[in-house]
Amino acid sequence: ETGVTQTPRHLVMGMTNKKSLKCEQHLGHNAMYWYKQSAKKPLELMFVYNFKEQTENNSVPSRFSPECPNSSHLFLHLHTLQPEDSALYLCASGPGLAGEPYNEQFFGPGTRLTVL
């Protein structure tokens, strides 16, 4: 688990707050991902960065804003969230293309977000 770290582990925020989630990977990977995990639903891919460039944005509301300053760090900036945004937010890193055989994605422990 030390390969991908996330902070904070738990976050409670009001709908008018601004907060940021941080992810750091120590695995030398080129790709980083943000996922949302809600109860009884499959993981939802939110954003993908390859070599610091955003390559995918799966119709995520603009109240979620990602930032990837380098290949080891990934942020998710949050503002004016809604209660339905409460979920576990997982960061992952990997060598690159998910469709390639044996390309692994390594997940962080997640941030449990509660929006009041």
Residues that bind another protein (CB under 8 A): 1, 4, 31, 33, 40-43, 45, 48, 50, 55-56, 90, 92, 97-110, 112
Peptide bond preceding 8 in cis form (omega within 30 of 0): yes
CA 71 to chain centre: 14
Inter-CA distances, 76 with 50, 59, 84, 103, Å: 16, 15, 17, 24
Least distance to another protein from the beta carbon of 97, Å?
Answer: 6
Least distance to another protein from the beta carbon of 63, Å?
Answer: 22
Least distance to another protein from the beta carbon of 102, Å?
Answer: 6
- Indicate the residue among 75 and 80 with the shorter CB distance to another protein: 75
Task: Name the pairing type of β-strands 53-57 and 111-115.
Answer: unpaired
- Indicate the residue among 37 and 80 with the shorter CB distance to another protein: 37
